Amino acid sequence: MTKKRNSRIALLAVVMLLSGALLGLISEESSAAEYDAVGFISSSDSSGVSVTYINQATGSTATVASQEDGSYSFEDLVDGEYSVRYSKAGSLSVLDTWSIPSDLPLAEVSMSDAPSGATSVTVNVKDGEGADVSGATVYLMSAVDEDSWWDGVSVGYTVSDATGVDGNVVFDNLTSDQYEIRAELAGYATAFGDTSNTNIVMNALDDTNKQTVRVFDPSGSPLGDATVFMYDATSSTWYDATKVGYTYYLHPITSSEVYVYAYHEDYTPSVKKIASVSGIATHNINVHENSAAHNDLIYINAAPSNGGQSMEPLSGDRMVKLNPGPTASMSVTTDTTEMDGNHVIAADGSVNFSASSSTSPVGGLTYSWGSETFTNSYAAGEHTESVTVTDEFGAQDTASITIIADGDDPIAAFTAIVKTNAGSESMAYNGSNLNEDFNTVVFNASTSSDSVGIASYSWSFGDESSDSGSVVNHIFDNPGTHDVVLTVTDTAGNSDTETMSVMVNDATPPSAAFSWYYLNETGSEITGASMEGEVTYFNASSSSDNSGDDLSYAWDFGDGSEATGATPEHTFNGTIEDGFNVVLTVTDSSDMSDVISYKIQPALKARPDIYMVSMSFSNDNPSEGDVVTLDATVKCLCEDAKVDSPFEVAFHLDSLEGTLIGTVMVDGADLESINNGTNVNVTATWTAISGAQTIFVNADSNDIIDESIEKNEISKVITVSASDDSSDVTSMTMIIVVVLAAFGTVAYIYRDSLFGN
């Protein structure tokens, strides 16, 4: 085996040891504490004393006998309350209580000798037919009291023994006092007597008062494995039932007060009271209807009498306890307000009550209301409502609730103070010292009042905001008059309102904004744009102001034009290089303004371009006085824009401002041809005058059409001969000949200079 493996084994062993120690600690801490009890008894003969304890919570019991020195001990007692009885023949029994562990170590117990004498008493027990009854337990109780298991129940010193076959039992060493006699035997009714007549008759239980009992589970199915028994409160005696199939039979005595118990391991038990037995009867008992009871416990109506249960409070393995009675509990299931433990409602209001939380160890609760719930209405004033619950044994308990029906409305009242900032001094609101956004208003409703108390304060500030509480702060975001409404509601649900109108000053200028558009040739809006010569639509409705009042609008379009209103229209009849500076000034009702401006550059509008193509004359060399036809061709570049009105073509002499020769209107079919891009001919006639003349022709001579290029004219020279042109020609010819001859002579003279040697 390697060293490494040895180390691992050692480490594992250490871990296991530590784990075991830790688990031991956990186990010790998690288990219930247990204690050993040792006590001592002092009496004339302290040995052989029977010491019996019963755990009052669980019913567990144990018995030991004391040693010669009077000591006794119990081991493994758990926390709790214990009833303890010390008993021995010849001594008076002692009842004690232990609280474990606080009563440890146990105190010493002293026992007194029981009364004794030389008297002998013989008791004979017979049945109703006169036959001796053997095996009956006979109790003799003296007038000398000894401790009983039952508080407040006086039980005499008791000695007991069983009858023999002759029905006799002999008690020796008794005093001469008279003793009470109690005789018990299964199948017989308990019999009573005293030593003045020691012949006791015990009657056998028969079918005279046969009680048939059927037990059902919560689903309604009969149970054949239940435990059924009864307690005869008249004689303080327990009787077991006889079971046949799913039926249980009991045989009580006539006129006795009987309690029938049904127990089952899977359900909580139930008990039924028969107030006075009379004849044969059948009873159905439903288990699991009582959550307080359990299978280890039996409740009885009163402490046993005539010595019954004097030895120990057990019936079989079950602890027997006195019924503590029911606990009445009632609650209000209606929404109410509690004040000093009382429920407050508005006058004439209804209240729903419930007693469903009432409890009873023996179940069978009935309610003085007739059911678990109850509803009633209450006029103004204070009212006490009670419920009494009664359990199966007839024990009762009562619970009460006080209802205060408030018929008076509260009185709402409040004040307002203004603070300019968090650290400033406050000043009472005076109707004009409250500014929006900057001032805080403190509303104080502490002067409101009500007789039963105010439950809530609700505020509405008139600006779609609200708050709650007796003192609130508020800042108004918007100017104007606001109705501040306080609603106070008292604990009964009654309410009252108070209103204060506050004037909030406008401290915020408006916000100016505008947009614009124009309509194109199809009627569509072109937003954020403008076109020269077309209407531009302006809209400042997006301007805002927190006052909510009407705004005024002043426009400057940057071309010398102005307007007012939120939606003016304007036409820019041209354009400039930097655009027109359009300025909007918006003013609110408090005379505060805001200004916004945009540079708007209108787009150039598409225009037709009219121009003269050519011009010709019917006679290029007319003589003075001839009539010449002037023929001009006009055309339009009209792809992007059409000529929308007739225009004039004018013929002038010498200049565009010269003598008007004639005009021609282009309209009708010619105008349609122009718009289609077709040349149109126009003519005028002119009577020629001598000389070189210039004819000018101008399209759209009156500037009716808005054109993209204004070069619509054309000109042409025409030479007109005078009426005596023949002599003039001869003279001109002679002049030309003379000039040429002279030029030739000079050239000859200077030929060497001109052309070289």
Domain residue spans of the chain: 34-110, 119-202, 207-322, 331-406, 415-504, 515-600, 609-723
pLDDT of residue 14: 38
The CATH number given to 609-723 is 2.60.40.10
**Structural tokens at position 407:** 């018929």
Pairing of strands 247-250, 211-216: antiparallel
Alpha-carbon 338 to chain mean position: 23
Shared fold status for 207-322 and 609-723: yes
Contact 318, 298 (CB under 8 A): yes
- State pLDDT tens for residues 313-328: 888 878 888 899 999 9
Q: Confidence band (pLDDT; 50, 70, 90) for 310?
A: low
- State pLDDT tens for residues 271-302: 999 999 999 999 999 999 876 667 788 999 98
pLDDT of residue 634: 95
Contact 283, 213 (CB under 8 A): yes
**Structural tokens at position 486:** 């306080």
Q: Of 3.40.1190.20, 1.10.1200.10, 2.60.40.1120, 2.60.40.10, which CATH number belongs to 119-202?
A: 2.60.40.1120
CA atoms within 13 A on the CB side of 635: 11
Average pLDDT for 252-274: 94
CA atoms within 13 A on the CB side of 623: 5
Distance between CA atoms of residues 175 and 59, nearest Å? 36
User: DSSP readout, 232-299?
Assistant: ETTTTEEEEPEEETTEEEE-PPTT--EEEEEEETTEEEEEEEESS--S-EEEEEESS--SS--TTEEE
pLDDT of residue 31: 53
- State pLDDT tens for residues 97-115: 999 999 999 999 999 998 8
Question: 49 pLDDT exceeds 70?
Answer: yes
pLDDT of residue 423: 66
**What percentage of the chain reaches a pLDDT higher than 70?**
90
Distance between CA atoms of residues 458 and 353, nearest Å? 30
The CATH number given to 331-406 is 2.60.40.10
pLDDT of residue 172: 94
pLDDT of residue 21: 42
Nearest residue to 626 via CA among 718, 688, 683: 688
**What percentage of the chain reaches a pLDDT higher than 90?**
69
pLDDT of residue 354: 97
SS (H, E, C) 542-605: CCECCCCCCCEEEEECCCCCEEECCCCEEECCCCCCCCEEEEEEEECCCCCEEEEEEEECCECC
pLDDT of residue 106: 95
What is the amino acid identity at position 461? Answer: F
Residue written as token pair 């930097």: 578
Contact 479, 546 (CB under 8 A): yes
pLDDT of residue 748: 43
Question: 245 pLDDT exceeds 80?
Answer: yes
CB atoms within 10 A of CB 186: 10
Nearest residue to 334 via CA among 408, 407, 385: 385
CATH architecture type of domain 207-322: Sandwich (2.60)
Q: Confidence band (pLDDT; 50, 70, 90) for 24?
A: very low
Q: What's the burial of 546, exposed, middle or buried (CB within 10 Å: 0-12/13-18/19+)?
A: buried
Average pLDDT for 36-48: 94
Helix H or strand E segment including 380: none
Q: Confidence band (pLDDT; 50, 70, 90) for 311?
A: low
CATH 2.60.40.10 fits 34-110, yes or no: yes
pLDDT of residue 26: 39
pLDDT of residue 422: 62
- Find residue 201's DSSP bridge partners: 126
CB atoms within 10 A of CB 668: 9
Question: 644 pLDDT exceeds 60?
Answer: yes
Question: 23 pLDDT exceeds 50?
Answer: no
Distance between CA atoms of residues 11 and 24, nearest Å? 20
Pairing of strands 267-274, 258-264: antiparallel
Q: Which fold has domain 415-504?
A: Immunoglobulin-like (2.60.40)
Distance between CA atoms of residues 702 and 755, nearest Å? 61
Q: Of 2.60.40.10, 2.60.40.1190, 3.40.190.10, 1.10.1740.10, which CATH number belongs to 515-600?
A: 2.60.40.10
pLDDT of residue 74: 96
Residues 6+ apart with CB under 8 A from 395: 301, 323, 325, 326
Residue 364 zone, left/alpha/beta (φ > 0; ψ -120 to 50; rest): left
Average pLDDT for 631-640: 91
pLDDT of residue 22: 39
Q: Confidence band (pLDDT; 50, 70, 90) for 754?
A: very low
Quote the pTM value: 0.56
Residue written as token pair 């998690």: 30
Helix H or strand E segment including 360: none
pLDDT of residue 753: 46
Residue with more model confidence, 479 or 484: 484
Q: Confidence band (pLDDT; 50, 70, 90) for 622?
A: very high
Question: Which range is most confident: 57-66, 69-78, 335-344?
Answer: 69-78
DSSP secondary structure letter of residue 708? S
Q: What is the mean pLDDT of the chain?
A: 88
